[in-house]
C-alpha cells in the first residue's frame, strides 16, 4: 500500500498558478484511493528538481508553450497541439510523457491548469490515447471544460486505474 502522487514539474508558467492548481488537484484526488493506494498527494517541483517517482506516480510537465514541449524535445510529435490551439495538454503514451501548456490557460487559470493536469494524468494511468474520451464526460471527455470539478464518472475512472505501474521519467 502506498501513496499515489502527481508531480507537476514546472518548466514554464507561474509558480503561484501551479501551487493553486496543486491544491485543487488534492481535493479532486482525495476520493480515488483503492486497495493498492491508501493516499494521494500533489507536489509542484521546479525544472532543476528530479523527483524520485514510485512506479505508480505520474509526472506532468508544465511548459510555457507547445514550442517548449518536452514531448517534442524527446522526439515525439506535438502536431495535433500545434494545429489546434484549444488543446491544453498532450500525452505521448509511447514515451510516457504528458505535458500541459501554460500559455493556453485562460489568464493563467489554476482551475484550467488543474483540470488539464488531471486529464493528462488519466491518459497515462489508463494507458489510453483519445479512446479514453469515449463515453466520458466532465474532465475526461474530448474538448473538456475545466470550470467545474471532475464528475463521479471521472473519479471512478481514475480510481479504476490508480495504482497501476506507469514508470515515468522525471528527469526531462
Q: What backbone torsions phi and psi does residue 170 show, to the nearest 5 degrees?
A: -100, 10
Contact status, residue 25 vs residue 6, Cβ threshold 8 Å: yes
Q: Could you tell me the fold of the domain covering 2-161?
A: Collagenase (Catalytic Domain) (3.40.390)
Domain boundaries, the chain: 2-161
pLDDT score for 106: 92
pLDDT score for 36: 82
- Residue 3: helix, strand or coil by DSSP? strand
pLDDT along the chain (172 residues), means of 10: 92 96 96 87 95 95 98 97 96 97 95 97 97 95 91 95 91 92
pLDDT score for 1: 65
pLDDT score for 147: 86
Amino acid at each position: 500500500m502506498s501513496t499515489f502522487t502527481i508531480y507537476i514539474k514546472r518548466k514554464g508558467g507561474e509558480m503561484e498558478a501551479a501551487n493553486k492548481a496543486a491544491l485543487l488537484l488534492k481535493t479532486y484526488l482525495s476520493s480515488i484511493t483503492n486497495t493498492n493506494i491508501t493516499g494521494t498527494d500533489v507536489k509542484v517541483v521546479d525544472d532543476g528538481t528530479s523527483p524520485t517517482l514510485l512506479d505508480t506516480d505520474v509526472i506532468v510537465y508544465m511548459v510555457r508553450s507547445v514550442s517548449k514541449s518536452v514531448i517534442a524535445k524527446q522526439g515525439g510529435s506535438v502536431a495535433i497541439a500545434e494545429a489546434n490551439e484549444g488543446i491544453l495538454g498532450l500525452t505521448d503514451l509511447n514515451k510516457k510523457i504528458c505535458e500541459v501548456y501554460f500559455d493556453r490557460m485562460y489568464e493563467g487559470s489554476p482551475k484550467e491548469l488543474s483540470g488539464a493536469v488531471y486529464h493528462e494524468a488519466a491518459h497515462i494511468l489508463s494507458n489510453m490515447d483519445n479512446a479514453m474520451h469515449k463515453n466520458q464526460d466532465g474532465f475526461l471527455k474530448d474538448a473538456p471544460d475545466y470550470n467545474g470539478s471532475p464528475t463521479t464518472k471521472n473519479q471512478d475512472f481514475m480510481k479504476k486505474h490508480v495504482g497501476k505501474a506507469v514508470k515515468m521519467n522525471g528527469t526531462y
